[in-house]
Amino acid sequence: MVAGGVFFESSFGLSYHSGLLIVSAVVIAYTLFGGFLAVSYTDFVQGLIMFLALILVPTFAVFLTGGIDETADSIKAVNPELLSLFAGTTVAGIISSVAWGLGYFGQPHIIVRFMAIKSVKETKQARRIGIGWMILSLIGAILVALIGVAYFQQNPGATLVDEEAIFIAIGQVVFHPFIAGIMLAAVLAAIMSTISSQLIVTSSALIEDLYKAVVKTDATESRYVFLGRVSILVVSIAALFFAWTRNETILDLVGFAWAGFGASFGPVILLSLYWRKITGIGAFSGMVVGALTVVIWGTNENLSGMLYEIVPGFILSLIVTVIVSFLTYKPNPAINAEFDEAVRLLKEED
C-alpha cells in the first residue's frame, strides 16, 4: 500500500495519501468480491505485464545512455564499485544478500500458488516458470537501476523525486507516452498483485485455520465466504492505518516482512516436505522463535546493520522445530501413509 501511494505521487503528482486510498480501494474491491479465482487471473495478467516491462525497459534504455560501453563508463564515474559483485562487500553482507533466497519458502502468497496446483505433473512446470520468471525479472530490475545511475550522471539537470521510483522515471523518458503508460501499469500490477495475494492468504488463515478450529461451528459455506470477506475488509483497514504515515522506504518494509515470513514459516514448510517426524508443537515453537528473533534482531540497529535478520531467525527456527519435534514425536500411521504416498507420486513423475 505504501508503494501504491509512492507510485501515484511519483507518476501523477497526486499526494501520497490520495494514491494510497485509490490503490487500496481498487484492490480491496476486486479481492473482496472476486476471491482467490479473481486474484489468480489478475495475477497472471499483472505478472505478464511486469515481466515484459522489466525486460523491455533496460533493453531500450541502454541506447538512451549511449550503449553498453558508455553506460558502463557513466556508472564507473559515479562509483566504480557498482559494477563489481564483491567490491566493498563483507562476508556478512554477502550472506545477508544470499539469505533473501530463504524467504521464498515462507511467503504465504507464493506458497498458496503451489498449493493450488491440480496435480503432481504440474509441479515441474510450475517450478521452472517460477524460477525462470524470478531470474529474468531480477536481472531486469538490476539493469534498470544501473542504467538509471548512468542516465542521471549524464543528465545532471534531470530530477528524481524518489530513488525507489527509478523504473517509472526511466520508462517515461525512454518510451512514447502510450508505451510509458503500459510501463506504469507494470509497476501498479506488481503493487496490486502483492496486496491482493496477501489479503486472500490472511483471510484464509483467519477463517479456515483459526475460526473453524476455535469456534468449530457447522456453518454453511456461504457463511464462511461472508466471514472471509469481512476479514479481508478488516485487515485492509488495519493495513491502511499502518501505511498512512510513511516513515520507511519500501525496501525496508519489504525486507522486514520478507524476513518475518521466511524465518517463521520457511523451516516448517521445508521440514514438512522432507521430514515425517515434524510435530505440531514443534512447528508452532519454531514459528514463534523465528518471528521473535526477526522482530528483536530487525529492530536493533546494531544487529540488523551487521546481518540480515532472516539469517538468525531462520537458523533458530529450524533448530527449535527439530529439537521440539524430536522431544514430542509419536509415530502416526496416517501421517506416514500420506507421506509415503506423496513420495511415491513424486518418484513416478521423475
Domains of the chain: 2-245 (1.20.1730.10), 248-350 (no CATH)
pLDDT tens digits, the chain, 350 residues: what are they?
888 888 888 778 788 889 889 988 888 887 777 766 766 777 777 778 878 888 888 988 898 888 899 999 999 998 888 888 888 788 888 899 899 999 989 888 788 777 778 777 788 888 888 888 888 888 998 999 999 999 988 988 777 767 777 887 888 888 888 888 877 787 787 788 778 878 888 888 888 778 877 776 677 777 778 888 888 888 888 888 888 887 777 778 888 889 999 999 999 999 998 888 899 999 999 999 999 999 999 988 888 888 999 999 999 999 999 999 999 998 888 888 888 888 888 777 66
- What is the per-residue pLDDT for 281? 94
Q: What is the pLDDT of residue 215?
A: 75
Which pLDDT does position 310 carry in this prediction? 94
Q: What's the grid cell of residue 220?
A: 454453511
Structure confidence at residue 314 (pLDDT): 96
CA distance 264 to 95: 19
